[in-house]
Amino acid sequence: RQLVLPKDPNLPPEVFHFYPIIGSAISYGNDPINFFFKCREQYGEVFTFVLLGRKVTVALGPKGNDMILGGKPNVVSAEAAYTHLTTPVFGKHVVYDCPNETLMQQKKFVKFGLNTDNFRAYMGMIEDETSMFMSTDPNFTAIHSKTREWGRFNSFKSMSELTILTASRTLQGAEVRSKLDKTFAQRYNDLDGGFTPLNFLFPSLPLPSYRRRDKAQRAMSEFYQDIIRSRRNGGGDHEHEHDMLAALDQQTYRDGRALTDVEKAHIMIALLMAGQHTSSATSSWTLLHIANNQAVQQALYEEQVKHFGLPGGGFKTMEYEDLKDLPLLDAVIRETLRMHPPLHSLMRKVMQDLPVPQSLAAPSESGSYVIPKGYYVLASPSVAAMDPNVWRNPTEWDPYRWMPGSASAAGNLSGALMARSDEEKGEKVDYGFGMVSKGTESPYQPFGAGRHRCIGENFAYVQLGSIIATMIRALELRLPEGMPEHNYHTMVVVPKSPCDIEYRRRSTA
Ligand code: HEM
């Protein structure tokens, strides 16, 4: 059905579509990964598709990732691609509503707050919030803690709640945690309702949800600025040594200027939005896989017992330093992020004609493709992560592939994960536990790569590791209906409903 249209030979091949403006929006929107794999079969690693009037050139494989994520900011711009989506939600003067050079400094400020000392403080808080959640949330209190009955919870809904509870208790600060009431939830939902693929595709529509978004942004900005002012005036009796506002207070731009209250408030909103869906999607996919795989679940529980078990059947609180000694806990998260990276499409806008390296794709031996200024380019972490040329049994959730020396890695030094093509060439590739490169050419990029790479990765591992360990210590899980499908209609890839997990309390809990 799809044909390459005869075009300027320097343009990458264009995916055939019936409807001029709509283009491939439906196929891409419903299942982008399947769409990319199919297009790759037909057109190779580089092709252009039409997305509601925009030309989007996809570049796949390590070299495609490198061209897009490793590209210079004056050639491929993230702010030009994202600002109309993010600025109405985060607010002015931060992230993509400022020069790239300013964003780089703002990322450094945030990194300063995401330090080991703070992570040490967060571990106990997250464990505490998770235990409280399991003893107060109606889905969990429905089953009496002493009975061995099975109850159920909606994995995505519960994990969304737990993510905001734990993020606000730690990063966002005690004032935010204490004000997580209906008003906050409403504002958050209105903001979130303006952070959707529709908002990306149609930046301004006369719809009520757009007006609600703008109102919520103003209210949320005021909410954070109030906290900042109150702290400055010595108000509040909260402990906030380890939160992000405390870290931002100590930062100055290279020219010596301190952050304004508005910038601090908007960075806090950006962090709230950046971490919320990504982390809650990841924890729900991780729990779903654990519930679906009893052997891994048992091994994970045993890992906890071995490290933290107390004689009476209780558990010692997990410390930050323990995380590195829990390879299976790390591997279940790592493997889940391979199969379900929350962001499937990383976009940039082309600011100057962009020649495609011949080694990636070319119209002929002597020619080169050029992606014209004004196009978008798209890298997909999901495609390389599910590529059978890179991973053995890519559709199988196998955390042990990240644990060299484990049973499923038998006979293969670098674990079950291997770069087959490289191995065939006789090159030694060690993609083993903790060894996958963070570079722009890596086949594993759930956190992106290059100058726009995620700075929340370590926090995410602290948050996810504590939540999952605390739940596994207390509960047995099972998944009678099997793994849910992916919902690609939201900003991040979440499990489609129904995505209920059945649980019962462990007899020792
Ligand atoms: C950027 C994924 C959690 C803050 C990114 C990017 C990805 C990503 C793929 C690159 C976007 C691009 O290149 O277009 C994830 C995943 C997470 C996660 C999978 C959790 C499982 C967080 C958290 C925070 C955060 C918890 C904040 C505390 C950021 C920031 C950027 C970013 C500030 C930089 C944007 C830029 O430079 O353009 N994230 N993220 N992320 N993320 Fe995360």
Largest pairwise CA distance in the chain: 74
CA dist., res. 274 & res. 297, Å (int)? 29
Q: Is the CB of 278 under 6 A from ligand 1?
A: yes
Question: How far, in Å, from the CA of 480 to the mean position of ligand 1?
Answer: 33
Q: Is the CB of 345 under 6 A from ligand 1?
A: no
Cα 220–Cα 221–Cα 222 angle in degrees, nearest 5: 90
Q: Is the CB of 446 under 6 A from ligand 1?
A: yes
pLDDT tens track of the chain, all 509 residues? 455 555 688 999 999 988 888 889 999 999 999 999 999 999 999 999 999 999 999 999 889 999 999 999 999 999 999 999 999 999 999 999 999 999 999 999 999 999 999 999 999 999 999 999 999 999 888 776 677 889 999 999 999 999 999 999 999 999 999 999 889 999 999 999 999 999 999 998 999 999 999 999 999 999 999 999 999 998 766 678 899 999 999 999 999 999 999 999 999 999 999 999 999 999 999 999 999 999 999 999 999 999 999 888 889 999 999 999 999 999 999 999 999 999 999 999 999 999 999 999 999 988 999 999 999 999 999 999 999 888 889 999 999 999 877 655 533 333 334 433 333 333 334 443 334 456 888 889 999 999 999 999 999 999 999 999 999 999 999 999 999 999 999 989 999 999 999 999 998 64
Question: How far, in Å, from the CA of 246 to the mean position of ligand 1?
Answer: 21
CA dist., res. 129 & res. 317, Å (int)? 13
Question: How far, in Å, from the CA of 274 to the mean position of ligand 1?
Answer: 6
Alpha helices for 340-404 (secondary structure H)? 381-385
Q: Is the CB of 342 under 6 A from ligand 1?
A: yes
Cα 275–Cα 438–Cα 488 angle in degrees, nearest 5: 45
Ligand 1 atom closest to Cα of residue 448: 9
Tokens of 215: 């109102």
- Phi then psi for residue 293, to 5 deg, are -135, 95
Q: Which of 458, 479, 494, 485 is nearest to 281 (CA)?
A: 494
Torsion of CA 180, 182, 183, 184, to 10 degrees: 30
Reduced to 3 states, what is the DSSP secondary structure of residue 371? strand
Q: Is the CB of 271 under 6 A from ligand 1?
A: yes
Alpha helices for 376-447 (secondary structure H)? 381-385, 420-424
Long-range contacts of 4-10 (CB under 8 A, 24+ apart): 4/42, 4/43, 9/363, 9/364, 9/367, 10/363, 10/367, 10/368, 10/369, 10/370
Nearest CA to ligand 1 atom 26: 275
CA dist., res. 241 & res. 173, Å (int)? 9
Q: What is the 3-state secondary structure (H, E, C) of 417-429?
A: ECCHHHHHCCCCC
Nearest CA to ligand 1 atom 21: 279
Q: Is the CB of 78 under 6 A from ligand 1?
A: yes
CA dist., res. 344 & res. 340, Å (int)? 8
Q: Which residue has the tokens 């722009």?
A: 440
Is 454 labelled a binding residue?
yes
Question: How far, in Å, from the CA of 344 to the mean position of ligand 1?
Answer: 12
